[in-house]
Structure 1
Amino acid sequence: MKFDELDQKMRVFETVHDQCVLPGLWMVARLDGRNFTRLTKELQKFEVPFDERFRDLMVRTTEHVMNCGFRIIYGFTESDEISLLLDYRDRSFGRKTRKLNSVLAGEASAKFSLLLGELACLDCRISELPTVENVVDYFRWRNEDAHRNALNAHCYWSLRQEGESANAANDQLLRLSTSEKNEMLFRRGTNFNDLPRWQKRGVGLVWERYVKDATNAKTGEAVTASRRRITPIYELPMGDGYSDFVRKLLADETSES
């Protein structure tokens, strides 16, 4: 059998289940660390419940993936996850979810591993969102998840430091409401409202334009050039203010099209 015939015969087993995101839909890729609990608590010994070094690794990994060939409008990271909003006009890999998931997970895993100096893996899934409000709701969801996780993490490690076992600490938290968890921390000297915003709401990453001095290659005269760079936001708005923040990002992006 000639190669072309064999290639055509076998290629179908790779592509028969290919799914593509329909044109005009927004795509959000969510990357999530695999076995990061073991990685951060046993192999690397990061501080608990939050570690600035780990935060910075996640931010730098997000920056890398935002700048590796896709049209990514907004990045968001909290805990061991990253969410990436792709422009609805992005046509990378024909919008095949198989390719998007594998390439984004590979880029993030490779970058994080290099930064950490330890093998690390992140998986990826794609959300297909038809409206701007769906996109806003998605990021509001992850923003609220960051808040919930931060409260639970501070409570959990407060109990662990008092000698409670992992199971006992988890059992106690299951019985407490949000207000009771806040009160528990306050009695132990921690006002949850005063903690850094990045711990409670995650970190957003946006593209910003800036002007830099340059030289005209033909004339040699001094000129200015407009460039783009990624800027982390460590104090994101809260509640409806965050929804408005995401909505404005989308409005600014579509107005430039």
Structure 2
Amino acid sequence: MKTREIYAEMRCIPPVVLRADGRNFKNTLSGLGFEKPYDKTFARAMADTAELFIKKSGLSPLFAYTFSDEISFLFTDLPFDGRVEKIDTVVASFLGSALTIKLRLEEPIAFDSRLVALQKEEIPEYFHWRQLEAWRNFVAAWGYYTLRNKGAGKNEAAKCLRGKKEWEIHEMLFERGINLAALPAWQRRGIIISKEEWEIQGFNPESGKEEKSLRRKITQNWEIPKFKSEEGIPFLEKLINRK
């Protein structure tokens, strides 16, 4: 029977990104009072879930990037000998459990996940692609919910936005008093969760000397740059090349 297990021996080699997406979150989380189009409580829960995964899963991704209901983890070292089935299922189940706890939900929620095989030089392009998706979601969400809040029905709001370019939605919102560029960076660009190092100096009782040592902690960066900007390129490279 062991040989009947589908994809059980499919493996991948690092580096890879695992991307997890919330399954049917729109319906599952409706009625919980989250603000539209963005809710900081939900965003905080997603970032905290990614942080908990880095801390407690034992799988050691380099960092995580999250926006909306998705999280991407970069792995340069793979658990389970790179078994795709094992990695996908363990990560998705951990995230679903963690977010259920963080939001104190009475109903279970779920993630689906997939592995994205990359060459090292392709890693920045992947995260740039996801950040562009975060921006597209941001513009579309603000356009849609602004129209809804002005009294438009679901179909009317969707019809009004259909075929519109980003700059047209931007202009429409500006005419209604909303400047997208002034809204929080985490809504526009997403959030990075990573291990940060800092140096401390203290007395070592074993050597009897003052010595320097490194400490690590996990931080959440809610003010990240555009990944393809002058500031963003070295920012992302530092994350990717961290040991």
TM-score, normalising length from structure 1? 0.85
1:197 matched residue in structure 2: 185
Question: Mean Cα displacement is larger for which, 33-42 or 229-238?
Answer: 33-42
Matching residue within 100, 103, 110 for 1:113: 100
Of Structure 1 and Structure 2, the greater helix share is in 1
8 Å contact kept, 1:140–1:243: no
1:40 matched residue in structure 2: 29
Counterpart Cα distance in 1 of 2:60 and 2:138: 30
* Structure 1 residues not aligned, in runs of 5+: 1-9
1:95 and 2:87 aligned: no
* Structure 2 residues not aligned, in runs of 5+: none
1:152 and 2:143 aligned: no
Counterpart Cα distance in 1 of 2:28 and 2:7: 36
Matching residue within 180, 186, 194 for 1:206: 194
Larger radius of gyration: 1
2:120 matched residue in structure 1: 131
8 Å contact kept, 2:8–2:85: no
Counterpart Cα distance in 2 of 1:144 and 1:91: 27
Residue identity in the other structure for 2:47: V
1:167 matched residue in structure 2: 155
Cα displacement (A) at 1:229: 1.2
TM-score, normalising length from structure 2? 0.89
Percent of aligned pairs sharing the same letter: 32
8 Å contact kept, 2:143–2:169: yes
1:4 matched residue in structure 2: none
Task: Give a deviation string over 1:93-113, Cα, whole Å, max 9, x none.
Answer: 010110110010011111101
Matching residue within 69, 81, 85 for 2:58: 69
Matching residue within 165, 176, 186 for 1:177: 165
8 Å contact kept, 1:208–1:231: yes
Matching residue within 204, 225, 238 for 1:248: 238
Cα displacement (A) at 1:147: 0.7
Counterpart Cα distance in 2 of 1:116 and 1:11: 38
- RMSD over aligned Cα atoms: 2.2
Cα 1:12/1:237, change in 2 over 3 Å? same
**How many residue pairs are counted as aligned between the two chains?**
238
Cα displacement (A) at 1:211: 4.3
2:2 matched residue in structure 1: 11
Task: Give the 4+ runs in structure 1 shifted more than 6 A.
Answer: 217-224
Cα 1:239/1:86, change in 2 over 3 Å? closer
